[in-house]
Chain A
């Protein structure tokens, strides 16, 4: 018995930190792939984790910060505002899904919603790169197009995972708040203007 316990302990507690981090990173990376190529698979739902959403949310919130200290009233979203919108938005949508009678667990839904922000984070990255070029209508059209495509990708990815959890006569009621959520995030990305 004792050796068995020892064996169990040494498998995770005594491994090097690098192993632990790599294992978690690989899990996160695998889920990113599932979001980028959405198929009907249960991996995102079965082994949920919230590392991915946290990384994505922090990255997005940091990228939405402008360099200079702008006057408070006039600026874009503060870091805390982005954080609150993403996390409270995801929690509200999850509660909404559960109250409507969906059979998905709380954290599974948070996990899916958080991971499906990945396309929009990629859009933010592309927008920031495009904004380094000369400003003008072409600049705006390119950014608009990229944000629209990534917004559609997010919606498709999240509904591929979430739609099956609702009875068919309430699917639209559950999907609409997801649409609103990603729409608001897309709007924040599109209106980002560096100083």
Chain B
């Protein structure tokens, strides 16, 4: 009975609400009567305060809710897309925390998404990352110009476009390919179905979050520290992806599983590397002040015909 209680927790709550409304109603449990109407059939016995149509409506409404299969609105309606933004602030923060600290047994999709993937996180994380990349890349150019005045500073606004296109293509096309591949290999799996497209987009979107603070930390002009932060972020992010995908590819052949996971990690590495090299300007060395003998060498290099004169002069 305890197991049945756990399983029917949701319905039990609904049933208690209904019972509270109509004290002399009778509830039957889910396992006993698989009626097409729903899991809990509330027999409005002697109440009589409800009209017949209302009863049927209420029952079918509650039955539909209890079944957990709400009628999905069509994809041309606004409500369809609203279902992908059905998250609260605390849920988004919780998902971000889950992606920052991946743990081997702790599947991101099952624990944090709980079959309610959202589009808010992936979309705005990608937007933030694109802008932060362009802005911090520009800031490193500014810092480089401080050290070496010969570098010409410019806002480099075209990099915003490049960053945006790169990040969005990565975060939406790679999950599409991954989802397609997993669907194709669906037949091999017995225990666990493949993820839906939105869940793969969520996995990728939230895994990109850790790059936002990393990119900001890349402002620190110490090269080995930058590489350290980059490797750390890449390791955490790729680990998150691998741990999320592992339960799905585990049952597949070893070759397919190894190929998939290594491709995923490789693409992620290429993204991180590409961003570091394209957006970030290597700083010129510390002492760019011209050395003292350059002032006498200057006329020497500029005026070759007077070469013997300047040599005898110095």
A residues near B (Cβ < 8 Å) are 70, 72-78, 81, 96, 98-101, 169-173, 176-177, 180, 183-184, 187-188, 191-193
Contacts and interface: CB of A to CB of B under 8 A. Distances in A.
Contacts of A191: 138, 155
B82 A99 contact: yes
A75 B87 contact: no
Among B90, B138, B154, find the residue whose CB has the most chain A CB atoms closer than 10 A: B154
A68 to B, nearest CB: 12
A70 B154 contact: yes
Contacts of B135: 187
Contacts of A75: 154-155, 157
Contacts of B181: none
Interface residues of B, number: 27
B85 A76 contact: no
Interface in B123-143: 124, 127-128, 131, 135, 138
B120 A96 contact: yes
Contacts of A81: 157, 160-161
A76 B88 contact: no
B236 to A, nearest CB: 23
A72 to B, nearest CB: 8
Contacts of A76: 154-155, 157
B131 to A, nearest CB: 6
B120 A77 contact: no
Contact of B85 (A72, A100, A176): A100
Contacts of B87: 170, 173
A interface, over-half SS: helix
Contacts of A188: 155, 157
B120 A100 contact: yes
Give 8 closest A-B pairs by Cβ, nearest first. Answer: A99-B85, A74-B154, A191-B155, A77-B157, A76-B155, A169-B88, A172-B89, A100-B85
Contacts of A101: 82, 85-86
A169 B120 contact: no
Interface in B145-183: 152-158, 160-161
Given A184-B131, A193-B155, 8 more contacts: A74-B154, A75-B155, A76-B157, A78-B157, A81-B160, A99-B82, A100-B85, A177-B124
B155 A169 contact: no
Given A173-B120, A180-B128, A184-B131, A192 B85 contact: no
A187 B128 CA distance: 14
Interface string B79-114: 001101111111010000000000000000000000
A173 B155 CA distance: 30
Contacts of A187: 135
19 contacts: A70-B154, A72-B158, A73-B158, A74-B154, A76-B155, A76-B157, A96-B85, A96-B120, A99-B82, A99-B85, A100-B85, A101-B82, A101-B85, A101-B86, A180-B128, A183-B131, A191-B138, A191-B155, A193-B153
A78 B84 CA distance: 34
Contacts of B160: 81
A170 B155 contact: no
Given A99-B82, A100-B120, A191-B138, A171 B131 contact: no
Nearest to A89: B127
Nearest to A172: B89
Contacts of A99: 81-82, 84-85, 120
A54 B255 CA distance: 58
A135 to B, nearest CB: 11
Task: Give the most central of B131, B138, B158: most A CB within 10 Å.
Answer: B158
A157 B138 CA distance: 29
A84 to B, nearest CB: 10
Nearest to B119: A99
Contacts of A96: 85, 120, 124
B80 to A, nearest CB: 10
A192 B153 CA distance: 11
Contacts of B92: 173
Contacts of B158: 72-73
B294 to A, nearest CB: 26
A104 to B, nearest CB: 14
Nearest to B89: A172
